[in-house]
Each structure stands twice: as structure tokens, then as C-alpha cells.
Amino acid sequence: MRIDLDRVRAETPGCRNVVHLNNAGASLPPQPVLDTVIGHLRLEAEIGGYEAAADRRAAIEGVYDTIARLIGARRKEIAVAENATRAWDMAFYALPLEPGDRILTATAEYASNVIAFLQVARWRGVSVEVVPDDSSGQLSVDALRAMLDERVKLIAVNHVPTHNGLVNPAAEIGKVAREAGVTYLLDACQSVGQMPVDVAEIGCDLLSATGRKFLRGPRGTGFLFVSEHLLERLEPPFLDLHSANWTAPDEFTIRPDARRFESWESSPATKLGLGAAAEYALALGLEAIGERVVALAERLRERLDALPGVTVHDRGARRCGIVAFSVAGREAGEVVEALAARRVNVSRATAEAARFDFEARNLPALVRASVHYYNTEAELEALCRVVERGLDGLR
């Protein structure tokens, strides 16, 4: 199945206004997502918020089925959250880590996750250790295997980092984790929506993702997958009357499904929008999406590489839709601004987002261009032209 570019662009209102190469920040949502969210907000205004939720109950429940289908999970293994970080946190802070336990993570790990590791290291005396990269720049599976012992209680890595095109070998890591019986938490924030992601194939116990990035959902959405075998063994760090049931004056029971990690109040409009985004991606096909994203990103890397003074910093044996580069003599922020002035959206990635990797490679702040299937070669050219000529004019 090939992607019908004219159709997907016609269904993406933002394509008329901007060259959007900030899909790792937040993608332009397609029309069905927009219609779903606005439609529900309108219904809330017309008949009442609780009444609108009751009215759309079947559709809201259907969101869990769609997300489960998207990642090859069961509906009871899915919790919807307000973002990926909170989804990840709910799982991470539920893990029964004890003094002396070891957490293994990747060089490219995301700041918010590392901050949580460090907090728990401080509270409970666990150690946080970075698995070295292999020569391609991805997490070294051999090094990971060599670091394992009975004190390793968690392998937590990101599938695709926030700041470069690397795709970590998630399934190989899963194999090692399974063999060792170590809990495996995968941050799939940047991979879900741009490539097929299947929890059974990967072999992770826990997975978090966001709605607004490559999945093209509304902002303020995310989800968590908790494998069935862990579900009733993980006690969420926070509970309320949705995640638990107050059964007697001094008793409560926690829900058996993954929604034990949710809270009562949430936005049905954006939850429905998240479901619409997942349906849209499934209808196009994640294989087809992934192929086009990789092809566009490779094309962009080639073009950028050929420009004098431009260095592409992506790593890994397998690369995806994120293209990180720097321009000699120009701070990343200047490049981002020059592009923004011509309505080309990209963003800036700095050490604050992924300090292990930035320090290890002594990286400057980077320009992050992230392509999606609805982008065109002409749009990539627009970016390259600004970098090539536009910047000259600003010197």
C-alpha cells in the first residue's frame, strides 16, 4: 500500500500554511483528528460534559481497542494519559526498586526519564548505569548482556531519542531482557506513529508514547502499555476513585486493568482525537508510513551532507525521520529562526534534552528537522535552500 500524497496533504490543513518539519515536536494533525476533537467540545457545550461523555461512551471505549491494535496489545493493557512522561512516570515510580538495585539505560536517554532515575537513586539508593553504544551509535546489545547480573532490575531505554535519527534495537534488547527476566520499559514516544511498533515483537513489559508527535494526535495526550503479566503486580504511585474503588470505610481495591494508572478527570475530546489519530495511521499502514519517512529523511541527510559547513549528526544502524544537523559558525537557534522566517518549522535540540549523549559526543546545540509522510521533496529543498543561501544573507 502506497501513501496517496495528494490525499494526505489535502487532509492536513496546516500544509497550506507551513513547511512543517517539526514532527518530532508536534505533527500537524489531519482533518479527522481536528473534527473529532472540536466535535466533542461542541457536544460538551451543547448538552453538558458528563452527558457528552455518556453519549460517546462506545467511541471512547473504542479508543482503547484502537491503541491496542496500533501496538499489538490487548485493550486491558492500555491506559490513556495526558502525556508520555506521565504515562512513563506512572509505570516507573510503581516499580519496587530497592537499595542496591541497578537500572540500565542508554546513552541517548531522554532527560525527563533520567531525572526520574536520579530522583529514585537519591530516594532508594539504586544505581543508574549507561550501557555503551556500539560502533554504529546504537545501544550495544553485547555490552548490555555483559552488564547484567541479579541486581539489574530494570532496562529502560528510548526506542528513538528526541535528538537524532537513531532507532535503538528494541527487539534485541527485549530478547536480552526476557532471557534475564529483567523488567523492560521502552519509551516509544518518537517511534509510535512513524514505524510499526509491536509490543509482542519487541518483548517489552512497559511502553509509553505520546499523541502529538508522529502519531499526529492532539497535544496533551499519551498512553501507557502495561503487559498483562505485570498488571496486578504494579501498584500505581497515585490512586483515585477511577483507578481504585473505595469499598469500605478503611478499604479500597485497585482496578485490575491498566487504567489503574489513569486518573478520573481527563479530556474525552482529546482522548477521542488520539483514537482518531491512531485510526488514521492504521488506515494508511505503519509499514507504508515508515518507508516513506525513512526515504524522505535519507534524502534530506544526503542533501544536507552535501552543503558546505553542514554536519549531520544522526547515528545508528537503522535511522528514522529525525535529522539532526549543525551549521558551522551558526548557533542552532539562528538557523531555526532563519527557517521560521520562511515558514519552515524545525526545532532546536540541546544538552538539556539528552545530556549523556551531548556530553559524550561533545555536541553543539542541534537543528532538528523531522519529516513525516505528508512532507514533500520540495519542502526538503525549501529547508536546504534556506540553510544554503538564506543564512548567507543573515551573516
Residues that bind ligand PLP (CB under 6 A): 83-85, 110, 158, 161-162, 187, 189-190, 210, 222
Give the nearer residue to ligand PLP in terms of CB position, either 30 or 222: 222
Contacts for 388 with CB less than 8 Å, ≥ 6 apart:
307
Shortest reach from residue 35's CB to ligand PLP, in Å: 23
CB atoms within 10 A of CB 280: 22
347-349 and 366-370 beta bridge pairing: antiparallel
Give the nearer residue to ligand PLP in terms of CB position, either 106 or 258: 106
Give the nearer residue to ligand PLP in terms of CB position, either 272 or 320: 320
Q: Which contiguous run of DSSP H or E holds residue 45?
A: helix 31-47
CB atoms within 10 A of CB 328: 9
Shortest reach from residue 189's CB to ligand PLP, in Å: 4
Shortest reach from residue 179's CB to ligand PLP, in Å: 25
Q: Which residues of 345-372 are buried (b: 16+ CB within 10 A; e: fewer)?
A: bbbbbbbebbebbbeeeebbbbbbbbbb
> If DSSP states are collapsed to H, E and C, what string results for 299-334?
HHHHHHHCCCCEEECCCCCCECCEEEEEECCECHHH
> In the structure grid, which three cell numbers stand for residue 360, read together?
559524550
Q: Which residues of 119-155 are buried (b: 16+ CB within 10 A; e: fewer)?
A: ebeeeeebebebbebbeebbbbbeebeebbeeebbbb
Shortest reach from residue 85's CB to ligand PLP, in Å: 3
Give the nearer residue to ligand PLP in terms of CB position, either 86 or 361: 86
Give the nearer residue to ligand PLP in terms of CB position, either 79 or 386: 79
Shortest reach from residue 60's CB to ligand PLP, in Å: 20
Give the nearer residue to ligand PLP in terms of CB position, either 192 or 383: 192
Shortest reach from residue 190's CB to ligand PLP, in Å: 5
Give the nearer residue to ligand PLP in terms of CB position, either 162 or 263: 162
Q: Which of 273, 281, 279 has its CA nearest to residue 373?
A: 281
Shortest reach from residue 329's CB to ligand PLP, in Å: 28
Phi then psi dihedrals of residue 278, to 5 deg? -65, -40
Strand, helix or coil at 188? coil
